[in-house]
């Protein structure tokens, strides 16, 4: 009678909670592994929390595999079954499921809203299947999903926008896309992901094309000891343009034909008076505390002087009304759940306030000023050549005959210098041989002619060595 009473009190004692044939039951654990099953045994006990159906021959998972609601089931193991079909209503009666293992099967597609009923799911294992297509709504409503394993499949493109938006998989901390057929990944979108997700983003053993942005992303991950990079350095390979051989992505620094350069931790550029926000891109979730240290060594705990430095709620540091002295390397100290981490951000503050191609404008202004100065110097040389005499020009030359036009300039537009009343230079000889202006030798002087009377008496004979003379040996500049 005592044994009968104990059997009635046990959850497996009643008919409704009896252990299925070829299965092993222990408390709320039900193991039917390696039982050569082709369908899920029914009825399943209501109190089942862990159901192991791995290593069987269950090829199709229909909606009626669990005809009754299993409110306590939180782990379902279906690996190694040759499973090729899963109904979109297969998980209607197991809403509390947190761990789902569908690995090592023959699934080819992840259809629309396939897992939308599993709002409490945290771990989803889909590795070692034949998946080629992933619908972007397949993971709809998985707000608590933390780990997603999709390695060893045939995926050529994964909808990374699910990660970028941060609304469909907000708590995802591990994504395994290794050993697939990815030929390119948007490095810019990956860089925008938080570091705690990049720390568990596995991309090794994919036929990726070599790219400098991808190299810089992985190189920064190696220097920050991200496990997805540091633990799989040899498996992170890519194809160089025009080559069929794989090369290590982390060996692309300075290697032809890409000649990639290493990236610094983080560099921001701003101008005087701007407002910038420095992000503390830590790889740790559940951070207990964090604080910033300025380039001057001062610790930022809250608002800085007159509100110019503000510590935001998400851990970022906002700088307002930038000054030249605000430039430098800022450090974010993070106290993680396991280890501490330091993130460095370099801020470059340019010493001007206008935005635009400043260097181009400065070069243009410099060129314009140089041209104007050159023109002014040429004009000074042509028209303001100084007299070799220390006090005055030579004495007035006698006027030439009216019909003597050989010595007059046909190009001159200004009258000859009028004679002065001062004393001529002592060395000036009107009709003798000597040197002319600028030291050139003049074979003979201009003959003196009798002065004319009348209105034209003031016309003078032009200097044959004048700049405006048509017979001058100095080129005429027009």
> What's the pLDDT tens digit per position in 39-89?
999 889 889 999 999 999 999 999 989 888 999 999 999 999 999 999 999
Closest by alpha carbon to 451, among 477, 422, 419, 429? 419
| Distance separating alpha carbons of residues 40 and 37, to the nearest angstrom | 7
| Distance separating alpha carbons of residues 78 and 31, to the nearest angstrom | 11
Give me the pLDDT at residue 399, please: 53
Please, which contacts does 132-136 make with residues 24 or more away whose CB atoms are closer than 8 Å? 132/108, 132/156, 133/108, 133/109, 134/109, 134/110, 134/158, 134/159, 135/109, 135/110, 135/111, 136/161, 136/162
> Does the predicted model carry a pTM greater than 0.75?
no
Give me the pLDDT at residue 166, please: 57
Is residue 17 scored above 70 in pLDDT? no
Q: Beta strand pairing status for 147-149 and 123-125?
A: parallel
Residue carrying the six token digits 């998989």: 169
DSSP one-letter code for 209: E
Give me the pLDDT at residue 25, please: 92
Note whether 469 and 461 are within 8 A (CB). Answer: no
Is residue 3 scored above 50 in pLDDT? no
Residue carrying the six token digits 């592994």: 33
Interval 116-121 mean pLDDT: 94
Is residue 292 scored above 80 in pLDDT? yes
| Distance separating alpha carbons of residues 413 and 238, to the nearest angstrom | 78
pLDDT band at 23 (very low <50, low <70, confident <90, very high): very high
* Lowest-confidence region among 140-144, 241-245, 334-338, 421-425: 421-425
DSSP one-letter code for 238: E
Interval 467-474 mean pLDDT: 43
Structure-token pair, residue 184 = 């390119």
| Distance separating alpha carbons of residues 15 and 375, to the nearest angstrom | 110
Is residue 95 scored above 50 in pLDDT? yes
**Cα–chain center distance at 115:** 34
Is residue 431 scored above 60 in pLDDT? no
pLDDT band at 93 (very low <50, low <70, confident <90, very high): very high
Is residue 254 scored above 50 in pLDDT? yes
What is the set of domains in the chain, with CATH numbers? 268-349 (2.60.40.10)
| Distance separating alpha carbons of residues 43 and 14, to the nearest angstrom | 12
The HSE-up count of residue 7 (CA atoms within 13 Å, CB side) is 10
Give me the pLDDT at residue 375, please: 87
Q: What are the tens digits of pLDDT across the range 387-428?
A: 555 555 544 555 555 544 444 444 444 444 444 444 444 444
144 by Cβ neighbours in 10 Å (0-12 / 13-18 / 19+) ranks as middle
pLDDT band at 353 (very low <50, low <70, confident <90, very high): low
| Distance separating alpha carbons of residues 232 and 214, to the nearest angstrom | 15
Q: What are the tens digits of pLDDT across the range 303-333?
A: 554 568 888 887 888 888 888 888 888 888 7
Q: Which of 42-46, 138-142, 177-181, 272-276 has the highest mean pLDDT?
A: 177-181
Please report, rounded to a whole number, the percentage of residues in the chain having pLDDT higher than 90: 30
- 447-to-359, 361, 401, 470 alpha-carbon distances in Å: 63, 60, 10, 20
């Amino acid at each position: 009678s005592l044994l009968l009473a104990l059997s009635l009190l046990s959850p497996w004692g009643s008919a409704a909670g009896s252990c299925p044939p070829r299965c092993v039951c222990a408390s709320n654990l039900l193991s039917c592994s390696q039982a050569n099953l082709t369908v899920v045994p029914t009825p399943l006990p209501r109190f089942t929390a862990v159901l192991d159906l791995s290593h069987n021959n269950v090829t199709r998972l229909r909606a009626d595999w669990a005809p009754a609601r299993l409110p306590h089931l939180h782990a379902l193991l279906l690996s190694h079954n040759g499973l090729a079909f899963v109904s979109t209503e297969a998980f209607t009666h197991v809403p509390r499921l947190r761990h789902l293992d569908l690995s090592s099967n023959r699934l080819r597609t992840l259809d629309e809203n396939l897992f939308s009923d599993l709002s409490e799911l945290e771990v989803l294992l889909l590795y070692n299947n034949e998946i080629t297509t992933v619908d972007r709504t397949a993971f709809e409503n998985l707000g608590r999903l933390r780990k997603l394993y999709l390695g060893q499949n045939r995926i050529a493109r994964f909808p990374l926008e699910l990660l970028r938006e941060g609304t469909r998989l907000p708590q995802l901390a591990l994504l395994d896309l290794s050993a697939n057929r990815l030929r390119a990944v948007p490095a810019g979108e990956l860089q925008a992901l938080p570091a705690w997700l990049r720390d568990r983003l596995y991309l090794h053993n994919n036929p990726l094309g070599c790219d400098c942005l991808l190299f810089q992303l992985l190189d920064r991950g190696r220097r920050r000891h991200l496990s997805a990079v540091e633990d799989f350095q040899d498996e992170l390979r890519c194809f160089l343009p025009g080559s069929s051989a794989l090369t290590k992505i982390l060996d692309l620094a300075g290697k032809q034909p890409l000649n990639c350069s290493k990236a610094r931790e983080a560099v921001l550029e701003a101008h005087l008076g701007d407002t910038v926000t420095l992000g503390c891109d830590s790889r740790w979730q559940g951070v207990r505390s964090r604080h910033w240290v300025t380039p001057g060594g001062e610790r930022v705990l809250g608002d800085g002087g007159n509100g110019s430095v503000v510590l935001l709620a998400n851990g970022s540091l906002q700088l307002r009304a930038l000054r030249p002295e605000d430039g430098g390397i800022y450090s974010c100290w993070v106290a993680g759940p396991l280890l501490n981490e330091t993130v460095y951000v370099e801020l470059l503050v340019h010493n001007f306030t206008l935005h635009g191609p400043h260097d181009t404008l400065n070069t243009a202004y410099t060129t314009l000023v140089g041209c104007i100065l050159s023109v002014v110097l040429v004009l000074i040389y042509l028209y303001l050549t100084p007299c070799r005499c220390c006090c005055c020009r030579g004495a007035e030359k006698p006027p030439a005959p009216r019909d003597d036009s050989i010595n007059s300039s046909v190009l001159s537009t200004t009258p000859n210098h009028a004679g002065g009343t001062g004393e001529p230079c002592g060395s000036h000889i009107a009709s003798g041989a000597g040197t002319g202006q600028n030291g050139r030798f003049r074979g003979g002087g201009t003959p003196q002619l009798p002065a004319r009377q009348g209105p034209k008496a003031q016309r003078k004979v032009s200097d044959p060595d004048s700049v405006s003379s048509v017979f001058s040996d100095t080129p005429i500049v027009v």
